[in-house]
Chain A
Amino acid sequence: MTVTWEPMLHELASQRMGRLLAFATMLAGPSLADDLVQDAVVAVFSRNRRFDSLPQAEQYVRRAIATRYIDSLRKDKADRERMRRYAAGELLPDPTDRVASADAVDDALAQLPPRVRACVVLRHLEDLSVRETAHTLGLSEGAVKRYVSDGLRTMNAYLGTELRDVETETAPMTERGAR
């Protein structure tokens, strides 16, 4: 059954807003999450799109959050500076600071440059394939593999975990200059 947009938007706001804000926060950080969700909901519902279910509507909004976030980074020079510092190892955390708490997860994600963070979240929270992640973010599949590989390395180092992603394992970008 297709639901008209106003009841669906209300249902989404009343039942799924926590999940959307949490996703946006993990993807982009708390300072951007509110605006991303607001903009994504308006963008998705402004089109003449049919939604058969609440999960389907939520899924559209989550994708819109990701694409809008990455679009906002494309001309962001500060993003490039973060990437430079990350590649140089300046942002890698001291393992002795590791704390096993929710804050530690937030802090670990905060260590990652935006594109790396987005790739990790879409791959390992949204469980998208490398291809789907690449299409969502407008990146090449090769770039996604490198970002995820580098991001997991940092996350594992920070949290003491050992997650590997065989689909994305590749040479870390900090070693690429040696070729």
Chain B
Amino acid sequence: MSELRDILHQRHHEMAASLRDAPEFDEAAATRAVRTHRRGRVVVMSSSSLAAAAVIASGTWLLLAPADPVVAPAWTPSPSPSVSVSPTSPASPAPEPSASPSGTAESEADPSVPLVTGDDVAVLERLMNPTTGETWHEPVEVDVPAGVEATDHRIYLEVGARADAAIVAAVTTYDSFYTTEGFQVVALLEVDGSGTRQIVCPSTRADDMCVGDTEIAGAAEDRETHYDSLTYPRSVTPAAAWTIATGTLDPSTHGGTALGWASLAAGAYAVLPDGTASTSVRTDQTRTEIAELGGSTLVALETPGEVEGTVEVHYAIDTPLGTRVQVGPATAGYGAGAVTWTDGVDTFAHPDGWGVDGVARPNEPCWGGHEMLDAAHDASRWTLAGESSAGTDVYVPADSSNELARRIFEFERDRSYGELVDPIYVYPYETFQEFLDTRSLFTWQRGDGAWVLGIDSFAGMRYYECV
């Protein structure tokens, strides 16, 4: 049964032997290139230290520079009984520089829209005023905790304390092949005089998922310890028609999280305390604070869209242990039945069965993890055509002079695989006019003023990997 595998290994062995002394690899050139890159990196790290200091001062540090060996409290739960449910300004300036136009409008957050509702009100209150006793500080690398089996590619960072126990994060040092968004926290541990316990269910919410298949050999399983300060609302609504699924991992990244859904409480580091930077974390994003969630901050991460004139937005929670958890957008209006068209014709109904879930995001082939905003909305190029399920007006391109719509049509068409694999990968519309006639693209305005672009998922790009 394993014959082919044996053949592959044998061929690899033969080839490796024959290439052992091959002159193809230029060690001197590689060494020079590495030296050059490392010198450049030292300069970048030095300047970023200033930025990191500013970020730390705001209580939302992200390990932009090597950690100070002194353990300094970065955030401690406030004893104040008051709970603020007002979002911070969506237009708060980001600490990172940006040369791109922001897709987020000036702050027009509607104070009459509650940030959270239902059960999330109590969750947010505990998040703002934790009762479970934990405190957090900057991560400091420590030895493998007592009794825990040492493992390759794993380090341990002390990140906080609770009563007499130190809270320690087990972090994988794999980058970009096991993780998809940085150095993942694979387990949270508490270490005290009685030994090491793995906190299997960090969320205080009983129906949240616990750690799945990541077990730390040598650590006792602790299902009784939970952290209010790491239990997030299911969703947050910073403004009308703008809901962010803070209880749902970004579907484009959760597949790589070691803790599964429990990663909502853990996240990943962009940079390790020794300065090692992840290559899988984007560094070109503009970070904008949306709402304070106790010691955590809900942020928008913006980049110029691949389609000219658009901005792509990811959402994330920056946690008090210095990690980032990417969460998914849940913009009201997405999904089947998202739009009621004025003429009564359901243009989301398609015979072929492809992606008939209503509205997709124009910039996503498969996973729908982020939003596309119209960075320079021109009202004269759009016409009112319906109403979203959230009660907002929905507009479609007025005519073929809408160049943004044309660029998005070409983007979707050109990114599709076409007939090379299967006819279902052929983009369904040959012409821009067909794309317009089927109301493939539309937009609506959020309560903060931003214009969100949606696309009929039938008209989205057709990728082999997505099926």
Contacts and interface: CB of A to CB of B under 8 A. Distances in A.
A38 B28 CA distance: 11
B277 A124 contact: no
B19 A143 contact: no
Interface stretch (B91-99, B119-127, B237-245, B421-429): B421-429
Interface in A157-179: 159, 161-164, 173, 176-177
B20 A18 contact: yes
Contact of B3 (A6, A48, A163): A163
B279 interface: yes
Nearest to A80: B420
A175 to B, nearest CB: 9
A37 B25 contact: yes
Interface string B1-39: 111110111011111111111101111011101100110
Contacts of B15: 18, 21-22, 25-26, 102
A46 B17 contact: no
B345 interface: no
A162 B256 contact: no
Contacts of A80: 417-418, 420
Interface in B170-220: 173, 175-180
Interface string A32-51: 01100110011101111110
B2 A163 contact: yes
Contacts, number: 170
A52 B37 CA distance: 21
B4 A156 contact: yes
Contacts of A22: 12-13, 15-16, 19
B276 A48 contact: yes
B419 interface: yes
B275 interface: yes
A91 interface: no
Given A17-B20, A87-B422, A136 B255 contact: no
Given A10-B27, A18-B17, A63-B177, A135 B256 contact: yes
A4 to B, nearest CB: 11
Interface residues of A, number: 64
Nearest to B28: A13
Chain B, interface size category, equals 35 or more
A83 interface: yes
A69 interface: no
B366 interface: yes
B39 to A, nearest CB: 10
A163 B3 CA distance: 6
Nearest to B37: A46
Contacts of B21: 18
Nearest to B12: A22
A42 B422 CA distance: 39
Contacts of B178: 132, 135
Most buried by A among B2, B4, B275, B465: B4
B176 A48 contact: no
Contacts of A81: 420
Interface in A65-85: 66-67, 80-81, 83-84
B22 A17 contact: yes
B177 A38 contact: no
B7 A125 contact: no
A67 B177 CA distance: 8
B464 interface: yes
A9 B4 CA distance: 33
A67 B466 CA distance: 19
B33 A48 contact: no
B31 A56 contact: no
Contacts of A83: 417, 420-421, 464
B379 interface: no
Contact of A21 (B9, B19, B274, B419): B19
B269 to A, nearest CB: 14
A141 B277 CA distance: 26
Most buried by A among B16, B366, B417, B466: B16
A67 B16 contact: no
A28 interface: no
B4 A139 contact: no
B25 A17 contact: yes
Contacts of B5: 124-125, 163
B276 A47 contact: yes
